[in-house]
Structure 1
Amino acid sequence: MKPIGNIYAIAAVAIVGGGLFGFDISSMSAIISTQQFLCYFNQSPETYDPTKDVQQCAGPRPDVQGGIVASMAGGSFLGAIISGPLSDTFSRKTSIQVGSVIWCVGSILVCAAQNIPMLIVGRIINGISVGICSAQVPVYITEIAPPTKRGRLVGAQQWAITWGILIMYYISYGCSFIGIHDHPPSSTAFRIPWGLQMIPAIFLFFAMFLLPESPRWLAKKDRWEEAENVIALVHSKGDRTHPFVVSEMQEIKDFCQFERENADVTWLELVKPNMIWRTHIAIFTQFWSQLTGMNVIMYYVTYVFAMAGLSGNAGLIASSINYVINVCMTVPALLLIDRIGRRPVLVGGAISLSIWWYATAGILATYGHPAPPGGLHHVSAESWVISGHASKAVIAASYLIVASFAPTWGPVSWTYPPELFPLRLRAKGVSISTAACWAMNFALGYFTPPAFVNIAWKTYLVFGVFCTVMAIHSFLCFPETAGKPLEEVEEIFALNTPAWKTKGGFAQGREMEKGERITEKQLQFTLHKEDA
């Protein structure tokens, strides 16, 4: 059967792999504050509220709750590491399909969890899937998309994550009413959402059979005719004589020949003098995306809103607005990211985020006070109390943090790393950067509940400092890659062009796609041969 050739349809299927991460975020965010979850995995004495006819449970201890949330990121770190060799050996498509199968296995264990250890094991397996898919979906789309659409198509993975968050959140919210008045509260409330999250992975596994393979991976395996067929299918409706197809194939051939003549592909090459600068940029892109604090808002927003006076049903509804904002505010990035470029979005996003984190810390410090011993609602992570107009300001600031992240660091953190590496190292380089993402995600998932307990409002101040530093770092070190053919990005690093002097290549890439101006690029591959 002839594979799908429409680039938007290809991306729409592939980014479901990103949506798996979104399902995990909101399934935990919506569930960890429900009495069904808290009582089933409770580690503290229970009480009974006769006025509401419900049991009151504190749930897992803060450090254990942090471990439950962080376990997925720990698995994702492992999945991201193995995704590079897996993708290089068996192809980009196959690695994504392997990830979808692993997700189903993990979801079965999570859905059937009888205790905290079993829940953690299931989430680790789910994490391995997320690590594989989150690393290799951007690689796959990057290698098949035209330069002028690459940013929006790869960034669509972030949009899929936001949709996954939103959909699973409302499913989890609806299920939160199941068995709430039972004694003990019914575990069905969280088992249904954890079981339903297998559906997108099953769809992804079978739909990937309908998509073409990455042309650059095919070229790397000397399957040149298949590579040319894919490029023609996707970019010129099957016309192999189209100028863009001819130019693209020649660039790929020249680059593959150069790499084979001058470099041995090993993990160590990522830290050699000619490659370590871009490796550092890729890793910090993902480090900083986590240190924006966005996933703290996503995972633990119910804690934050409870401290601002919203709990129970009101807190869950207010939290859902975060996810709606996340979906809506990602759209401008998908439409404009290739025209505006990567640098303005990263620097501007970091500045905006720092403003809202500092504002929230200031409001909490000025108008808030410590919660009673043991925390609000017997949850020790809810350690601070703020009320009145100041609480509304905290809630608004939380929404503005999401609105600042969604069109900036969210999509660009997935778009940027695959653009930095040459073909021979792309899968390994992206797997390393994605592993950095999950390592930091693990640290933050584990750190946040104890941080709320121990330093309360100062947690917000910490993220404000991180965002300030990342604004400076991205301005000084992150070059512009928007609109440039992947092979042309090499020139930036080969010539040591200062990051603030690089510009996007949208207009040139547009002309090439239309065949209006085709020039044979003589790329100056001045990599240090003694290090290759």
Structure 2
Amino acid sequence: MQLPDLSQKPPGYVLASILCSLGGFLFGVDTGIIGPVTVMEDFTKYVGNPSPTIHGLIVSSILIPAAISSFFAGRVADALGRPRGIAIGSFIFGVGAALEGASMHIAMFIVGRIIEGIGEGLYLSMLVVYICEISPPRNRGALTTGPQLLITLGLVTGFFTCYGTADIGSSFSWRLPFILLAGYSLVFSTAALIWLPASPRWLTLHGKTSEASAAWEKLGVPAADREKILDQYDTTVVEAAIPDASGDTSAGHVTSTTVATPKSKKAKILDVFSSDARPRLFLAVFLMTMQQLSGIDGVLYYAPLLFQQAGLSSASSTFLASGVSALVIFAVTIPATLLADRWSRRTNTILGGLAMSLTMFLMGTLYASHTVHPSAGAARWVVIVCIYLFAVIYCVSWAVGIKIYAAEIQPQRTRAAATSLAHGGNWLSNFLVALVTPTLLARSSYGAYFLFGGCALITAVACWVWMPETRGLSLGEIEDAFARGRGWGRGSGIREFVRTLRKGGMHRSVVMPAAVEA
């Protein structure tokens, strides 16, 4: 297949993926502003100098509603289509942000965060699903990491917005960031509704074959790639491609006939727990849950507190340090996104978990040994460097790979629902991290670091045992590999692991062999 001419307009699926990824920017901005806002002098006066528990509750109040709505996002996406679901969710998110910016008392502020969470859970889990469904296999990794890249850009925007408004000297210092966020959300919701094409997969599954063909043309997906994508349907798709002289079907003509397989409503709901889908659902939920228990949002939400604990005393210095950390995260996420399909999903996750646990254990050990002094000494600078290093390692490993992996290993018929459940687990663990981190930091200088480091280490070990490789595989090849019982399915659970250890080594059947580029 010939490479596209870079002087020409990018294919429609690239433009649609970029637009869709802007939804991650909203989430990043909220994550970037909520931590600095809650330690602003005008906000603490407004709330009444909250205790660490109340501080954690204010920050985390967005997450339980996000988890609940995330569980239903798959049904919304399947019923209304991906773009409409994204637009509705981001609009609700913006309404919540506007209520926070206009709140007259703390109860109104928390209600705004709850509404914001409902919208966030609805739209955020649909982003990767939509991009995954419109992307050719060779571009899927890079494009589906787009939302994560925009999340990091949102972090930069959020931290530096607070850095710029902190000295206003009125409640406008913490209201303005939320007002701006509400404006961003309204613009994104409108753009998604107007310009995002419907997913051709969704159209095909709903029997709208002519509309699906028009959507493929608008997205500019080559015929050969459509064939790879369509083979994931729970429908009978018969395609006849006329290849050119070199055997490449992309230049030929493709005709297709689609016959939908009828299913009951109950069966569709329970499909995520069917024998072929259940192992992949559990693996996705585990990875998405442990992604947050690594402590990343404890670092992002409470970066000013962590830097203050390490010895940066003034609000401006902690906000600046937080903004610099966001810039570093954004900078390293760019090459990580571009190289997403060149790195092994499995190896990246395992090595990332080991490296993150090492940085957490190092910080915890320094605090436990009482070598970190706020006013002097090298240990505090080691802690500050480790905070940056932890965030960098996370962004080039777990942030890039896990969300892609959780979506791409699912069968087509359950992908939206299973990904939503996995995101629900992610929200719940995120809530726990956001709620308990201030209390842990107040009661113990090192407890949070050992907790998060232990979770990262456990995940790395579990992935070494159970996580199959998927890099470069088409969605159909992933489906076939799981159907054959290779990977974390039949014959490779704990009993297989123990059996292979007794034989003196790790058996090759525990993981799928490394995939070649599609």
In the alignment, which residue of structure 1 is the partner of 2:251? Answer: none
**Contact between 1:16 and 1:204, CA under 8 Å: does it hold in 2?**
yes
The residue number in structure 2 matching 1:174 is: 164
In the alignment, which of 485, 491, 512 is matched to residue 502 of structure 1? 512
Superposed CA offset, 1:486-532 (max 9, x none): 2221112211113553245453x2xxxxxxxxxxxxxxxxxxxxxxx
Alignment of 1:342-357 (within 5 A): 342-357=345-360
Equivalence for 1:192 = 176
- Asked if the contact 1:175/1:190 (under 8 Å) is kept, the reply is yes
Pairing 1:97-176 to 2, within 5 Å after superposition: 97-176=87-166
- Structure-to-structure mapping, 1:479-498, within 5 angstroms: 479-498=468-487
Rounded to whole Å, the distance in 2 between the matches of 1:430 and 1:308 is 38
What letter matches 2:181 in structure 1? Q
CA deviation after TM superposition for structure 1 residue 233, in Å: 3.4
Conservation of the 8 A alpha-carbon contact between 1:87 and 1:136: yes
Residue 385 of structure 1: CA displacement?
5.3
Q: Kindly indicate whether residue 191 of structure 2 is the aligned counterpart of residue 207 of structure 1.
A: yes
- Please name the residue that 1:398 is paired with: 387
Specify whether residues 176 and 251 from structure 1 end up closer, same or farther in structure 2 by C-alpha distance, changes over 3 A only: closer
Sort the Cα spacing of 1:265 and 1:483 in 2 relative to 1 into closer, same or farther, 3 A: farther
Cα 1:316–1:261 change in 2 (3 A) is closer
Deviates further, 496-505 or 446-455:
496-505
C-alpha displacement of 1:416: 1.5
Return the offset for 1:232. Answer: 3.5
Match of residue 215, structure 2, among 224, 230, 243: 230
With normalisation by structure 2, the TM-score equals 0.85
> Could you tell me whether the CA contact under 8 Å between 2:277 and 2:414 is conserved in 1?
no
| Contact residue 70 and residue 445 of structure 1 kept, 8 A | yes
The counterpart of 1:459, out of the listed 434, 448, 451, is 448
1:20 corresponds, among 9, 23, 26, to 26
Per the TM alignment, residue 432 of structure 1 is displaced from its structure 2 partner at its CA by 0.5
Q: Once the two structures are superposed, what CA deviation does each residue of 1:375-418 show, in whole Å capped at 9, x if it has no partner?
A: xxxxxxxxx95742111110001010001001111122321221
Count how many residue pairs are aligned between Structure 1 and Structure 2: 466
CA RMSD of aligned residues (A): 2.2
Q: Secondary structure at the match of 1:388?
A: coil
The partner residue of 1:415 within 380, 399, 404 is 404
Question: Partners in 1 of 2:424 and 2:153 — Cα distance?
Answer: 23
Deviates more, 1:454-463 or 1:86-95: 454-463
SS in structure 2 opposite 1:178?
Answer: coil
Which consecutive unaligned segments of at least 5 residues does structure 2 have? 1-9, 238-257, 489-509
Q: Which residue of 1 aligns with 2:7?
A: none
Q: For each residue in 1:334-377, what CA deviation from the matched residue of structure 2 results, as whole angstroms up to 9, or x when unmatched? A: 111112131111111101101100111111112347xxxxxxxx
C-alpha contact (below 8 Å) 2:133/2:229 kept by paired residues: no
SS at match of 1:254: strand
SS at match of 2:340: helix
| In 1, Cα distance between equivalents of 2:14 and 2:150 | 13
- Does the C-alpha gap of structure 1 residues 247 and 444 become closer, same or farther in structure 2, counting only changes over 3 Å? closer
**C-alpha distance in 2, partners of 1:504/1:8?**
27
C-alpha distance in 1 between matches for 2:232 and 2:424? 30
SS of match in other structure, 1:24: helix
Spell out, residue by residue over 1:42-98, the C-alpha distance to the aligned partner (whole angstroms, 9 max, x if none): 1xxxxxxxxxxxxxxxx2111111111111111211220121111110001100000
For the residues of structure 2 that align with 1:32 and 1:250, how far apart are their CA atoms?
49
Partner of residue 290 from structure 1, selected from 292, 297, 304:
292
In structure 1, distance between residues paired with 2:96 and 2:425:
22
Matches within 5 A, 1:332-371: 332-368=335-371
Runs ≥4 residues deviating over 6 A: 261-264
Q: What SS does structure 1 have at the residue aligned with 2:475?
A: coil
TM-score, structure 1 normalization: 0.83
Q: CA deviation at 1:258?
A: 8.4
For 1:310 and 1:71, the matched residues in 2 are separated by 28
1:470 aligns with 459
Q: 1:352 & 1:96 partners in 2: Cα distance?
A: 35
Counting aligned pairs with the same residue, the percent is: 28
